[in-house]
Copies of this chain bind each other. A is one copy, B any other.
């Protein structure tokens, strides 16, 4: 079968590799219907993370081909959506709602790599969720988004305690930030402020539910958020970038007693203790426990309540994965869907 390998920064190739097979009785093998390129894949692509012949891809939907003897909730022929983190679904951490910190956690990226024709998914019951039936092609991008960007944006909004009566600010206008906007709207937020200076993304932000756009960044961005909120700051802030500037901007934009949900993979961030102490904001983040939200998100998509796949603004065949990386790197695309 084919699979995407990142040889090194900027060097992405599609290669032949062995078809996966069932190894453990809790495994499933799936044939992918679609996969995509994640903003986080750009960190190694740009040389900010080390990379050496890595199997790429961690977002995936597809049809189950085979399951191990102990798999009970899915069967061959089922269409499934999976989380970007493998989780057993049974440990105390999974049961408490944090499958992305499962004691048996495996990051799909690198270890499995779903920019490929097929994938072996360990702990299939704890990682995959079957859709109510076979989806039409129009639903595929939306279901694919649930695998990471929607689930991650959703977690950020939940961690930020977005909800009725709340003003939610979103730092970062990439796919995850946009999904945070969608999530905040679904969760009932009263006002949603997108921090974005990219006109195409501002349009998408408004489409997903943003009521206000702020183009300023850093201290100027914080000042604008405070202007909009009687000087207090937002109740809930979603951080979807992962840099020092974005984290400080997110914390500074939050009122005392408010909440920051941070899901941008942090790079070279050092948070001053005094900032955390004096800002008196609650912060929660990390790799999103997508599996917790998948049943609900799949149903919302199935019922056509949400269309998260709209963040996928470029579709390419798997063979052209390298072009997809390039388009995202150059910000010509927000997020690329790869057909398999």
Contact = CB atoms under 8 A, between A and B. Distances in A.
Given A98-B257, A266-B273, A273-B269, A283 B280 contact: no
A49 to B, nearest CB: 11
Nearest to A229: B92
Contacts of A138: none
B272 A277 contact: no
Contact size range, A: 35 or more
A257 B103 contact: no
A282 interface: yes
A260 to B, nearest CB: 10
Contacts of A287: 277-278, 280
Contacts of A283: 276, 282-284
A7 interface: no
B278 A93 contact: no
A199 interface: no
A90 to B, nearest CB: 14
Interface string A254-265: 011100001001
A286 interface: yes
Interface in A268-298: 268-274, 276-287
Given A266-B273, A277-B265, A232 B286 contact: no
By CB atoms of chain B within 10 A, which of A103, A231, A272, A285 has the most?
A: A285
Interface in A215-247: 230-232, 242, 244, 247
Nearest to A282: B284
Contacts of A244: 273
A53 interface: no
B266 A276 contact: yes
A278 to B, nearest CB: 6
A273 B270 contact: yes
A96 interface: yes
A137 to B, nearest CB: 36
Given A92-B230, A257-B98, A274 B266 contact: yes
A216 to B, nearest CB: 23
Contact of A98 (B98, B100, B269, B280): B280
By CB atoms of chain B within 10 A, which of A103, A230, A286 has the most?
A: A286
Contacts of A262: 276-277
A197 B273 CA distance: 25
A97 interface: yes
Contacts of A274: 266, 269
Contacts of A280: 98, 100-101, 284-287
A272 B270 CA distance: 5
A231 to B, nearest CB: 7
By CB atoms of chain B within 10 A, which of A101, A279, A280, A285 has the most?
A: A280
A332 interface: no
Contacts of A272: 269-270
Contact of A279 (B269, B270, B286): B286
Contact of A93 (B255, B267, B284): B255
Nearest to A279: B286
